[in-house]
């Protein structure tokens, strides 16, 4: 049995007593293998995942149906109304009746088997290290050149090696290496880390980090940790032998979180955004650059004071014999006041820059706690909309908000889905 099949069976029998031994036998796995593979894929234990799915389903029934609490308890595997009420109170701090009349909703999505390699979550101690800075004028391959520099200077070094991008010094780029040393200038740190192993290639490393940040982290029971990691939010450890790097081990410091996504179904007023529309390679970056250049030239005060940023995508099918699906990005800023069309945005010089309006109406809004690719959040919101029997009117869009700083931990994101009445 694949994990996809296991997830489907759990959904179909969510109200029943789950026999883990039977699941393991059906999947031709040992009990320990099942626990390990399930946890690495979802970031949850089997029992924790089942508990959250049962409660999430019950919360949808409470909010969006007229089912009795007794019926909901039976349908969702709680056994009794008191057990259901205690679970709701513990999760959202409200009684079922208070939750039904309130505006906020909490949702935990069903998982699907992930495509990437396993993620292990474990306590880890990073030993005391000495920081070495390598400077180079070229960014591609800077990690490998930094390691070659280290091994040339210390050919007999056999300790652990960690790395990260450092601060640029004039025209020179920096890569920092952290090595075990008697002259350590950084103390040992201990914490819980989500860990992924990957080959030492730029493509594999980028794919692994993208997966951790943009997929696994958003649907797991963990959030990225803050202190004491603010100045070093991640580690890359080089597993090496004989001066050759065999693979990388990525460490992302994490802390446990409740695991339920906060969603609000509400009526919102009209909103307006100044955006640039771009497609092709690096479309999101190109769209963001175009709109900020426009603002810098014509509305510099607005450029400096912008705190809300808009991102949405539109599928764009290529033409010809080989049809390739691409994305057109719309990126820009929220407009609080009427912006005069100066210069005229319809002129060829400003092709692709426009003001778009989202009318007043009903919207589902999911609050995220990390930025990056919003695809995982959009999938969660789409699953919730479908589970509630609502109709999505148009594609969702994202609004990023800064708290006055552009540091990752100070940026929040909301996924907004227009709902058809």
Looking up tokens 């290529």, which residue turns up? Answer: 318
Distance of CA 122 to the CA centre of its chain: 20
pLDDT in tens, the chain (421 residues): 556 677 877 888 888 887 777 777 766 778 888 888 787 777 778 888 888 899 999 999 999 888 999 999 999 999 899 999 999 998 888 999 999 988 788 888 887 655 445 677 878 888 889 999 999 998 888 888 999 999 999 988 888 999 888 888 888 999 999 999 888 888 888 888 888 888 888 888 888 888 887 777 766 777 777 655 445 556 889 988 877 888 899 988 888 776 678 888 888 899 999 999 998 878 888 999 999 888 888 888 888 888 899 999 886 554 444 444 467 899 999 987 666 655 555 555 567 788 899 999 999 999 876 555 677 788 888 889 988 888 888 889 999 988 766 666 677 889 999 998 7
Predicted TM-score (pTM) of the model is 0.66
Tokens of 223: 């959030």
pLDDT the model gives residue 223:
76
Q: What is the distance between the alpha carbons of residues 251 and 236, in angstroms, rounded to a whole number?
A: 6
Tell me the three-class secondary structure of the chain, residue by residue: CCHHHHHHHHHHCCCCCCCHHHHHHHCCCCHHHHHHHHHHHHCCCHHHHHHHHHHHHHHHHHHHCCCCHHHHHHHCCCCCHHHHHHHHHHHHCCCHHHHHHCCEEEECCCCCCCCCCCCEEEEEEECCEEEEEEEECCCCCHHHHHHHHHHHHCCCCCCCEEEEECCCECCEEEEEEEEECCCCCECCEEEEEEEEEECCCHHHHHHHHHHHHHHHHHHCCEEECCCCCCCCCCEEEEEEECCEEEEEEEEEEEEECCCCEEEEEEEECCEEEEEEEEECCCHHHHHHHHHHHHHHHHCHHHHHHCCEEEEEEEEEECCCCCCCEEEEEEEEEEECCCCCCCCCCCCHHHCCEEEEEECCEEEEEEEECCCCCCHHHHHHHHHHHHHCCCCECCCCEEEEEECCCCCHHHEEEEEEEEECC
Q: Give the closest residue to 401 by CA, choosing from 386, 413, 417, 393.
A: 413
**Per-residue b or e along 245-282, where b marks 16 or more CB atoms closer than 10 Å to that residue's CB:** beebbbbbbbeeeebbbebebeeeeebbbbbbbbbeee
Q: What is the distance between the alpha carbons of residues 312 and 374, in angstroms, rounded to a whole number?
A: 10
Task: Give residues with Cβ within 8 angstroms of 347, minimum separation 6.
Answer: none
Q: What is the distance between the alpha carbons of residues 173 and 142, in angstroms, rounded to a whole number?
A: 9
- What the chain holds in terms of domains, given with CATH numbers, is 3-107 (1.10.10.60), 120-256 (3.20.80), 262-418 (3.20.80.10)
pLDDT the model gives residue 232:
56
pLDDT the model gives residue 350:
63
Sign, Cα dihedral of 336, 337, 340, 346 = positive
**Bridge partners, 361 (sequence order):** 268
Looking up tokens 């006055």, which residue turns up? Answer: 404
pLDDT the model gives residue 104:
82
């Amino acid at each position: 049995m694949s994990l996809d099949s296991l997830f489907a069976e759990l959904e179909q029998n969510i109200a029943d007593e789950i026999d883990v031994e039977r699941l393991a036998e059906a999947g031709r796995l040992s009990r320990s293998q099942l626990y390990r593979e399930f946890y690495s894929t979802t970031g949850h234990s089997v029992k924790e995942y089942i508990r959250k799915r049962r409660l999430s389903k019950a919360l949808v029934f409470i909010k969006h149906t007229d089912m009795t609490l007794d019926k909901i308890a039976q349908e969702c595997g709680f056994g009794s109304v008191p057990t259901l009420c205690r679970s709701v109170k513990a999760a959202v701090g409200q009684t079922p009746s208070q939750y039904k009349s309130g505006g906020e909703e909490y949702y935990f999505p069903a998982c699907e088997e992930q495509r990437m390699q396993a993620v292990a979550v474990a306590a880890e101690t990073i030993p005391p290290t000495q920081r070495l800075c390598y400077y180079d004028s070229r960014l591609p391959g800077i990690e490998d050149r930094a390691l070659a520099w280290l091994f040339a200077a210390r050919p007999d070094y056999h300790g652990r090696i960690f790395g990260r991008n450092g601060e640029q010094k004039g025209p020179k780029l920096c890569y920092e290496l952290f090595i075990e040393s008697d002259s350590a200038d950084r103390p040992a740190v201990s914490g819980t880390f989500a860990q992924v192993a990957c080959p030492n290639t730029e493509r594999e490393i980028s794919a692994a980090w993208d997966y951790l940040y943009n997929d696994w982290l958003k649907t797991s029971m963990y959030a990225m940790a803050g202190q004491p990691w603010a100045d070093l939010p991640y580690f890359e450890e080089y597993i090496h032998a004989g001066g050759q790097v065999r693979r990388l081990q990525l460490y992302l410091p994490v802390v446990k979180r409740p695991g339920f996504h906060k969603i609000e179904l509400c009526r919102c007023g009209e909103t307006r955004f100044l955006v640039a529309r771009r497609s092709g390679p690096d479309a999101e970056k190109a769209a963001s650059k175009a709109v900020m250049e426009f603002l810098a030239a014509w509305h510099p005060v607005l450029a400096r004071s912008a705190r809300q940023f808009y991102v949405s995508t539109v599928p764009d099918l290529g033409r010809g014999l080989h049809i390739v699906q691409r994305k057109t990005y719309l990126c820009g800023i929220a407009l609080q006041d009427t912006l005069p069309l100066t210069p005229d945005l319809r002129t060829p010089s400003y092709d692709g820059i426009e003001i778009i309006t989202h009318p007043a109406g009903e919207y589902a809004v999911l609050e995220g706690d990390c930025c990056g690719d919003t695809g995982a959040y959009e999938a969660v919101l789409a699953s919730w909309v479908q589970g509630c029997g609502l109709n999505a009117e148009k594609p969702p869009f994202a609004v990023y908000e800064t708290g006055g700083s552009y540091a990752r931990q100070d940026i929040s994101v909301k996924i907004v889905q227009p709902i058809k009445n």
